[in-house]
Structure 1
Amino acid sequence: MNIVIVIDSLVGGGAEKVMLTLAQEMVSKAHNVTILSLAQNIEYDIPNPLSVESLFSGRATKVDRFWQIKKNVKVLEAWFEQKLLQLGSIDLVLSNLDRSNNLLAKSKIENIHFVVHNSVNAELARQKKLGPLSYLYLKKSKQNLNGKSLICVSKGVEEEIKQGNLISPSAITTIYNPFNFKEINEQANESNINIPDTPYLIHVGRFAKQKRHDVLFDTFAKLDKKYKLVLLCNKKEKAFKLAKQYGIENQLIVPGFEQNPYNWIKQAKALLLSSDFEGFGNVLVEALAVGTPVVSTECPHGPSEILTGELSKYLVPIGQSEKLVLAVKQVLADNPNVGKAAILEKVCADRVTEQYLALAN
């Protein structure tokens, strides 16, 4: 089949990584995949067989604004017409993130499924705090998904959309994010001289309000001083500035964006997730896959679908650092064997890719 994956950019982020994994797996099954990035920004190493093209020069931050959208939808449609001439058919189009969704939703392009990577309600609540224009832009972006076929990355996100009255899709289903466990474990075993010998906990995620580094730092300040805290995030200076307020700046290690986070995760005593909301919580699965215990806020959505059975005791309410402290102490004392977590079977790349390919039929 001929498949096109459209995404806003390929900067370091969860949705971007998910789509690169999916594209690789599709190519390994002898399908022809093109990733179309609206922007030229690429932070990830692009594996050899993958074809990546960009539609606009620069960062493409305003390509879907009302004064530009008609013109840019035509640019997008022209790209697809060229691709159609080249390939003869396009069997499946996957759209990711708001700018891509906004352009594709207004286009005449066929066979599109829109992937919803995050809690719609939580995104809107956060945007409201940034002012009315930001909020209205995001609300309109979500409403553009009315009458479209949606793929949600967790059952929680699917239920939220079904129960709400903002989006009425033509079809909706959940397909979990794909994980290539063979590749993850190979990278987890790579040596890295920058990884400290001292015991450390780890947090992986953008330095953004959603991730609640304030809760993370407040929690860490109450733990045994023998531990370091590794942050794999952007905005290093902001991280240290906030850490200073909690008196933990000397225990912080911030290597910045890492192409391979898995060897850092594998050697950590535990991985912590302190978010107010997620779409799924990829990093929890990645930690379980390399045998690292996790503690997470029970945020909407994802963590409660990942940490099930015995592991559910390491879920805590959002925004409560005291409870996070207790759960971290518990997980460090238990050192649970997480390699057999039930979620791992459900998210293996092969199984997930077959679910995506079935959409074309």
Structure 2
Amino acid sequence: MKSKNIAIVVTDLGGNGAEKSVLNRAQAFFENGHNVVLFLIEDIKIYDVDNYKFPIIALTKRRDTFKFLGKIGDYIYTKILESKMKQFEKFDIVFSHLPRADRVVKLIKHPNKYFVIHMSYKAELDKFNKKRAKKKLKLYRYLYKDEKIITVSKAMVKDFDTLGIKYKSAEVIYNPFDIDEIRQKGNEPIELDFDYIISSSAFKKQKRYDVLLDAFKVLKHNIKLVILAEPHPKLISMIKERGLEKKVIILGFQQNPYKYIKNAKLLVLASDREGLPRVIVESLIVKTPVVSTDCPTGPAEVLVDKLSRWLVPMDNPKLLAQKIDEALDENIQIEDYIVEKFGKQNIYKKLEQLLKENI
């Protein structure tokens, strides 16, 4: 198809799964001949972006420069974004990722905007007190009213309907994964010479490291836990409180997590909520089995067929530990078809069809 001009807007490039997915979507468009510009609301780049050939432009140099101004701040960001966009040939389509960016893109004047949803808002609201949940729901109903949305899992569309968000249209398009690159990077050597299970999630409340550590403490297997997350003081404290200092290793954020995931005996996710958890797909790509909570949304859409056995209820360390022990005792086979639907070319076909239908 004829080359299109595509603007992608995201809050920042912090080291989370959603931001990695944004880079992958941008790269998929770029590799297929489109003109891509990635705009960051805030100039935060945890991921290495030197190898990307499309422009990456930050609206501000400092974190949260105008955030404290609320709606006025959103308006200022909008004007900066519109000014930056005018430096390029007119964009055919705009994709917005994550709520902070969505608040800005909501205000720009463009006839063809899509809002890509990366997390379960319903699960988020369920964890808030009534007052905070009401305020957040009001924001989400405003942001996505009469807008075109793309969700990264099927269950998210149901969430929007349940929450009474009156979107214009909804598409489900999974995040793209470069399967060959992930497997290649997974083959790189590592410095660890012991058996371990692995967690590769940022230290956030919804990731439930408390549940993971409680489960790890009562495991029957004598094995170490490697955590690919920054050594947050609260995480270190949680490890010490459980007397696990000699069994838990925090390696911090890794540009190449795949080599550690591939060499793990098992990957474990204990989250209360997700979107479509990248780390589960990445683990299956390098043939490392996964035990995950059956949280909204995503794990149940990835761990299908025989792998669904390794889903466990949320907030239950005892059951999680039992399932980890079972998985460590089994030779779990991961078939290629499980991950092929997430391959970047399969996902790009859906993105290209979206471009054809809307431009």
Assess, with a 3 A threshold, how the Cα gap between structure 1 residues 12 and 240 changes in structure 2: closer, same or farther: same
Contact 1:10–1:41 under 8 Å retained in 2:
yes
Contact 1:124–1:139 under 8 Å retained in 2:
no
Cα distance in 1, alignment partners of residues 312 and 183 from structure 2: 28
The TM-score normalised by the length of structure 2 is 0.93
Which residue, 241, 245, 262 being the options, matches 1:249? 245
Contact 1:117–1:279 under 8 Å retained in 2:
yes
Counterpart check, 1:122 vs 2:123: yes
Q: Deviations over 1:255-302 (max 9, x none)?
A: 111010000000000000000011111111100000100000000110
Cα distance in 2, alignment partners of residues 5 and 235 from structure 1: 31
The runs of 5 or more residues in structure 1 that have no matched partner are none
Contact 2:27–2:52 under 8 Å retained in 1:
no
Aligned to 1:218: 214
Aligned to 1:261: 257
Aligned to 2:75: 70
Cα deviation for residue 121 of structure 1 reads 1.1
Aligned to 1:96: 97
Aligned to 1:359: 354
Cα distance in 1, alignment partners of residues 333 and 66 from structure 2: 47
Cα deviation for residue 62 of structure 1 reads 4.0
Cα deviation for residue 106 of structure 1 reads 1.6
Cα deviation for residue 347 of structure 1 reads 0.7
Aligned to 1:186: 184
Cα distance in 1, alignment partners of residues 137 and 196 from structure 2: 38
User: After the TM superposition, which residues 1-361 of structure 1 pair with which residues of structure 2 at under 5 Å, given as runs?
Assistant: 1-46=4-49, 47-60=51-64, 62-63=66-67, 65-83=70-88, 87=89, 89-128=90-129, 132=132, 136=135, 139-165=138-164, 167-193=165-191, 196-224=192-220, 226-340=222-336, 342-361=337-356
Secondary structure at the residue paired with 1:220? helix
Cα deviation for residue 245 of structure 1 reads 1.8
Q: What is the aligned-residue identity percentage?
A: 35
Matching residue's letter, 1:123: E
Mean Cα deviation higher: 218-227 or 266-275? 218-227
Assess, with a 3 A threshold, how the Cα gap between structure 1 residues 338 and 235 changes in structure 2: closer, same or farther: same
Contact 2:220–2:325 under 8 Å retained in 1:
no
Matching residue's letter, 2:244: I
Contact 2:221–2:325 under 8 Å retained in 1:
no
Cα distance in 2, alignment partners of residues 180 and 358 from structure 1: 20
Assess, with a 3 A threshold, how the Cα gap between structure 1 residues 161 and 58 changes in structure 2: closer, same or farther: same
Cα distance in 1, alignment partners of residues 226 and 320 from structure 2: 17
Q: Deviations over 1:71-129 (max 9, x none)?
A: 3322222222232xxx2x31221100111101111221231110000001122233448
Contact 2:228–2:257 under 8 Å retained in 1:
yes
Contact 1:216–1:321 under 8 Å retained in 2:
yes
For the aligned residues, what is the CA RMSD? 1.8
The TM-score normalised by the length of structure 1 is 0.92
Assess, with a 3 A threshold, how the Cα gap between structure 1 residues 174 and 230 changes in structure 2: closer, same or farther: same
Cα distance in 2, alignment partners of residues 94 and 127 from structure 1: 28
Matching residue's letter, 1:160: D
Q: Deviations over 1:117-174 (max 9, x none)?
A: 0001122233448x74x86256414531111000000001111112331x11100111
Cα distance in 1, alignment partners of residues 205 and 146 from structure 2: 31
Cα distance in 2, alignment partners of residues 142 and 123 from structure 1: 14
Matching residue's letter, 1:211: K
Runs (4 or more) in structure 1 with deviation over 6 Å come to none
Cα distance in 1, alignment partners of residues 297 and 52 from structure 2: 33
The runs of 5 or more residues in structure 2 that have no matched partner are none
